[in-house]
C-alpha cells in the first residue's frame, strides 16, 4: 500500500474519530490495506513496469515456512472512515524509487 494512502486513512480517522469511537468503546481496530494480496511475481512485474532496467528473476520452490498468502480485510475502513486506497502498487514503487536519492539530504540533522 502506498504511504500516501496510509496517511489519508490516518487523516480520515482523526476527522471522524468522534463519530467512529462512541461510548462505551474507547477504541476500535480498523485494518488498512488494499484488500488483496500481492505475489512475488506480481511485485516483480510491477517493479519492472516502473524501471527502465528490469529485474532478473529466478523461479524456485517455496521455502519451508512460506505462507500461501495474506491480505487485509479493510471493509471497516471504507464503512467507518469512507476510506479506500487510491494509489497502485506501481505508484508506490515509483514513489519509493523517487524518494531514495533525496532521502539522506532531506533527513539529515
How many domains, the chain? 1
CATH of the domain at 86: 3.90.25
Question: Taking phi first (over 0 means left), then psi (-120 to 50 degrees means alpha), and beta for anything else, what does residue 65 get?
Answer: left
Residues 6+ apart with CB under 8 A from 73: 31, 35
19 CB contacts (<8 Å, ≥6 apart)?
none
Give the residue numbers spanning the domain of 64.
Answer: 3-107
pLDDT for position 68: 79
* Cα–Cα distance, 28 to 26 (Å, whole number): 7
Quick: pLDDT tens for 25-70: 778 889 999 988 898 899 999 999 999 999 999 999 988 998 877 8
Of 93, 67, 76, 102, nearest to 1 by C-alpha is: 93
Question: Which DSSP helix (H) or strand (E) runs through 3?
Answer: helix 3-20
Q: In this prediction, what percent of the chain has a pLDDT beyond 70?
A: 99
* pTM for this predicted structure: 0.79
- Alpha-carbon distances, residue 22 vs 8, 10, 19, 72 (angstroms): 22, 18, 7, 24
Amino acid at each position: 500500500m502506498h504511504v500516501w494512502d496510509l496517511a489519508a486513512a490516518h487523516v480520515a480517522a482523526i476527522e471522524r474519530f468522534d463519530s467512529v469511537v462512541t461510548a462505551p468503546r474507547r477504541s476500535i481496530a480498523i485494518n488498512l490495506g488494499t484488500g488483496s494480496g500481492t505475489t512475488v511475481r506480481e511485485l516483480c512485474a510491477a517493479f519492472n513496469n516502473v524501471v527502465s532496467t528490469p529485474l532478473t528473476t529466478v523461479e524456485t520452490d517455496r521455502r519451508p515456512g512460506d505462507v500461501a498468502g495474506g491480505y487485509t480485510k479493510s471493509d471497516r475502513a471504507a464503512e467507518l472512515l469512507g476510506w479506500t486506497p487510491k494509489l497502485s502498487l506501481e505508484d508506490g514503487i515509483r514513489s519509493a524509487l523517487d524518494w531514495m536519492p533525496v532521502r539522506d539530504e532531506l533527513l539529515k540533522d
